[in-house]
Amino acid sequence: MSQSDTKAKSPVVVMTGATAGIGAHALRKLAASNCRIIVGTRGTAPEFGESLPLDLSSLESVWAFAGMVQETLEDESIDALVLNAGTAFSDTTQSTEDGFEITFAVNHLSHYLLARLLLPKMSHRGRLIITTSDVHAQAPKPLNIGVWSSARADGSGMKAYAASKLCNLLTARSLTLQEIARERECEIIAYNPGLTVRTSLSRHSAKWQRLLMNNGLVHLLLRLGSNFIPMMYPGSPERAGEALAQLTLGEATPPEGRVYASLVRGELTYPDPSELASDDDARDSLWQESAKMVGLPAT
């Protein structure tokens, strides 16, 4: 068998957020599983796979990246689209070049657009995974897209992050309803890695928050507290990345009808999402508003 034949038979994975944290650990496992991996990067070369430029704070860059992925793959389909990149800030004062609050833009809107653009490239029974968070349950109610999509001086960075993660979960639920996803029997998964310490997610957060997340005594206290509140468990990026890879490869699969995969004390579970994440009106409203923001039809 020729080298080109071997490459063509490798599962194709397109991934964001693969150069650090849980994504980098997932990338290593995917590479070891003989996947062909295309990584969207913002300057930092991934440890494995092919790299294409992607800046999630720019919708123009997202459009360009999606086009490059399609050109690079030619007739090959995407077996797994992993939308893992994320960011968090201490406030909501920063805007992107498109005029959106940066946490909302990077965590939700650009991944929404990327999912819409690359879904037609997915293989039969392909997997689309969006990294969410259990803090989605702490998002302000009701979810006001007009508020959270706009930068402002009086906004809480933590609330903005929670709102963006709620958007990820609602988007995953919407994607299961799309005709092309249903026809191709795509598996749509919203993955919560849990509280994961020693990652770069908090690099833009306040200094005291970064110190807490890297303090061994705090980790011990969190571990003890997780006996009563499981979401407090301080997981490792290695285990969170391994679970992400397992979902990507189909080694772990949610039960039929479930989209939410949550890592709880190191084990994958498939619970119901929060009440607001289960709200069909919020789901549909977010889909329609996001479509307008990126210049796509809602259907």
- Closest Cα to residue 189, out of 135, 261, 133? 261
In the predicted structure, residue 210 carries a pLDDT above the cut 60: no
**Burial (CB count <10 Å: 0-12, 13-18, 19+), residue 90:** middle
Task: Label each residue of the chain as H, E or C.
Answer: CCHHHHHHCCCEEEEECCCCHHHHHHHHHHHHCCCEEEEEECCCCCCCCEEEECCCCCHHHHHHHHHHHHHHHCCCCEEEEEECCCCCECECCCECCCCCEHHHHHHHHHHHHHHHHHHHHEEEEEEEEEECCHHHHHCCCCCCHHHHCCCCCCCEHHHHHHHHHHHHHHHHHHHCCCHHHHHCCCEEEEEECCCECCCCHHHECCHHHHHHHCCHHHHHHHHHHCCCCHHHCCECHHHHHHHHHHHHHCCCCCCCCCCEEEEECCEEECCCCCCHHHCHHHHHHHHHHHHHHHCCCCC
Is the bond into 230 cis (omega within 30 degrees of 0)? no
Residues 13-24: pLDDT tens digits? 999 999 989 999
Of 5-9, 69-73, 228-232, 281-285, give the lowest mean pLDDT range: 5-9
Cβ contact 16:22 at 8 Å? no
Rounded to whole angstroms, the Cα distance separating 98 from 225 reads: 41
Query: Where residue 2 falls among pLDDT bands split at 50, 70, 90?
Result: very low
Token digits of residue 39: 């990584």
Q: What is the pLDDT of residue 192?
A: 96
Chain-wide mean pLDDT for the chain?
A: 88
Of 110-114, 169-173, 253-257, give the lowest mean pLDDT range: 253-257
Q: What is the pLDDT of residue 206?
A: 54
pTM of this structure: 0.88
Q: What is the pLDDT of residue 238?
A: 94
Q: What is the pLDDT of residue 201?
A: 56
Exposed e or buried b per residue across 163-184, where buried means at least 16 C-beta atoms within 10 angstroms of its C-beta: bbbbbbbbbbbbbeebeebeeb
Token digits of residue 29: 């496992």
In the predicted structure, residue 26 carries a pLDDT above the cut 80: yes
* 149 phi, psi to nearest 5 deg: -85, -10
pLDDT higher at 4 or 110: 110
How many alpha carbons fall within 13 Å on the CB side of residue 154?
1
